[in-house]
């Protein structure tokens, strides 16, 4: 089986790198050279020209999105987990994502949703959507997982011009990752059962969307922040790591009931 064009992680005892395997090409670092033609299968353990061992394997979703080249800031994996619960998302959910960006969340939704469920993603930037599409396709083809198909419907427009009623029947969760999600309500009104989730870095943005959600009769409005603390467990050292990601974004969730 050819491994040409497969995305892999190259991991030594200190670092991880993301690389795309290409016939006749090589990975060069201060630890020497690894010839891609020497990688015959995945996973593999290979030795560089300077005698450093590397594990070579297909990245997990988390490794892929944290190590990949990207455009706009992504939603961090820990927050994707929170968003799935906040948005009451399961494999049959039908989702409108507002703010495709680098496609990190879009890719995860593509991975977990069934073939029959709908996934729309809106962005005003064609460039970002093109990059996101390539990213998703690259991960899907490399990871060779069962639902190896692109199910995303790209909507290329500014939110202020978007008419929700055209797809409303098909949607049960809206997720936003844009600076001004309240623009949604300039032209649109929610009239059906629906979950709303907004990912926002700043508390002033949170305040504005909460006011808007109240105005539009949403219930169960919840504001949450997810903090992850990693630990070291290594012989006599058993303690939290010194470094921690202090803040990424707030997750605001709410529910609309049509009764």
Binding site for ligand SAM (CB under 6 A): 72-75, 99-105, 122-125, 128, 158-159, 177-179, 183
Task: Kindly provide the residue ranges of all beta strands, DSSP E only, lying in 49-90, ordered along the sequence.
Answer: 53-57
- State the burial class of residue 209 (Cβ atoms within 10 Å of its Cβ: 0-12, 13-18, 19+): buried
Task: Kindly provide the residue ranges of all beta strands, DSSP E only, lying in 127-242, ordered along the sequence.
Answer: 152-156, 173-176, 194-200, 219-225, 231-234, 237-240
| Least Cβ distance, residue 53 to ligand SAM (angstroms) | 33
Which lies closer to ligand SAM via its Cβ, residue 21 or residue 131? 131
| Least Cβ distance, residue 77 to ligand SAM (angstroms) | 10
Name the residue number minimizing CB distance to ligand SAM: 101
Cα distances (Å, whole numbers) of residue 59 to 67, 200, 215? 9, 28, 44
What is the rounded CA–CA span in Å between residue 237 and residue 231? 10
Which lies closer to ligand SAM via its Cβ, residue 125 or residue 143? 125
Which lies closer to ligand SAM via its Cβ, residue 43 or residue 179? 179
Q: Are 243 and 253 in contact (CB under 8 A)?
A: no
| Least Cβ distance, residue 121 to ligand SAM (angstroms) | 9
- State the burial class of residue 78 (Cβ atoms within 10 Å of its Cβ: 0-12, 13-18, 19+): middle
| Least Cβ distance, residue 33 to ligand SAM (angstroms) | 33
| Least Cβ distance, residue 100 to ligand SAM (angstroms) | 6
Which lies closer to ligand SAM via its Cβ, residue 123 or residue 172? 123
Cα distances (Å, whole numbers) of residue 91 to 65, 75, 109, 118, 122? 21, 20, 9, 10, 20
Which lies closer to ligand SAM via its Cβ, residue 105 or residue 190? 105
| Least Cβ distance, residue 47 to ligand SAM (angstroms) | 36
What are φ and ψ of residue 13, in 5° steps? Answer: -75, -5
Which lies closer to ligand SAM via its Cβ, residue 3 or residue 174? 174
Which lies closer to ligand SAM via its Cβ, residue 3 or residue 104? 104
Nearest by Cα to 56 from 77, 30, 37 = 37
| Least Cβ distance, residue 6 to ligand SAM (angstroms) | 22
């Amino acid at each position: 089986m050819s491994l040409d064009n497969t995305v892999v992680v190259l991991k030594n005892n200190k670092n991880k790198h993301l690389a795309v395997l290409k016939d006749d090409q090589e990975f060069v670092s201060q630890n020497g050279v690894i010839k891609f033609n020497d990688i015959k299968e995945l996973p593999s353990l290979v030795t560089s020209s300077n005698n450093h061992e590397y594990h070579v394997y297909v990245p997990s979703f988390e490794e892929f999105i944290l190590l990949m080249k990207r455009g706009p800031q992504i939603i961090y994996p820990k927050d994707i987990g929170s968003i799935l619960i906040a948005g009451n998302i399961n494999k049959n959910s039908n989702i409108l994502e507002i703010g495709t960006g680098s496609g990190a969340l879009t890719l995860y939704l593509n991975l977990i949703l069934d073939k029959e469920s709908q996934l729309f993603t809106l962005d005003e930037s064609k460039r970002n959507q093109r990059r996101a599409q390539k990213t998703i396709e690259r991960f899907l083809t490399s990871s060779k997982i069962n639902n190896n198909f692109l199910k995303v419907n790209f909507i290329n427009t500014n939110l202020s011009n978007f008419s929700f009623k055209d797809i409303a029947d098909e949607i049960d969760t809206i997720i936003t990752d844009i600076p001004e999600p309240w623009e949604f309500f300039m032209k649109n009104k929610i009239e059906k059962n629906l979950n709303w989730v907004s990912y926002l870095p700043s508390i002033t943005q949170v305040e504005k969307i909460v006011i808007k959600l109240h105005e539009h009769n949403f219930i169960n409005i919840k504001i949450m922040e997810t903090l992850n603390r990693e630990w070291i467990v290594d012989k006599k050292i058993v303690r939290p790591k010194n470094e921690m990601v202090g803040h990424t974004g707030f997750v605001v969730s709410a529910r609309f009931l049509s009764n």
